[in-house]
Amino acid sequence: MSNIVLQEDLFNQFLHDKFNYMLNLMQEERNKPNFNWVTNKAAMGLLDVSSRTMQNLRDDGLLGFSKLGNKIYYTPEELDSLLQRHYQKPFKAAA
């Protein structure tokens, strides 16, 4: 392995540039529109449940949603959270 020697001002400039580059990447990511929403129909398919079950989950406050007009949408995180909350650990030890 070899060593690289930099003057302090060059090293500080490198760190400054690297920091600004990362800051710009994070800002760009934050500015991207969030179109990960899942329609009610797609969520029904993913969860393999009926529209009545989806309605019950919403009515019981177990599943957050957004409604625009007659369309209902869910975030993938909300669907994952629902599944995580209902996760059952195996009761038999693996052989």
| pTM: predicted TM-score of the whole model, two decimal places | 0.60
What is the per-residue pLDDT for 34? 66
Q: Tell me, yes or no, whether 32 lies in a domain.
A: no
Percent of the chain with pLDDT over 90: 64
Structure tokens, 14: 């490198």
Are 62 and 74 spatial neighbours (Cβ–Cβ below 8 Å)? Answer: no
CA 3 to chain centre: 41
Q: Tell me, yes or no, whether 77 lies in a domain.
A: yes
How many domains does the chain fold into?
A: 1
Q: Tell me, yes or no, whether 79 lies in a domain.
A: yes
| Residue 47 CB contacts under 8 Å (≥ 6 apart), including other chains | 53, 54, 79, 82, 83
Q: What's the domain range around 71?
A: 38-85
The predicted-structure confidence for 69-93, as pLDDT tens digits, reads as follows: 999 999 999 999 999 999 998 888 7
Work out the average pLDDT over 44-48: 95
Q: Tell me, yes or no, whether 59 lies in a domain.
A: yes
- Is the pLDDT reported for residue 56 higher than 80? yes
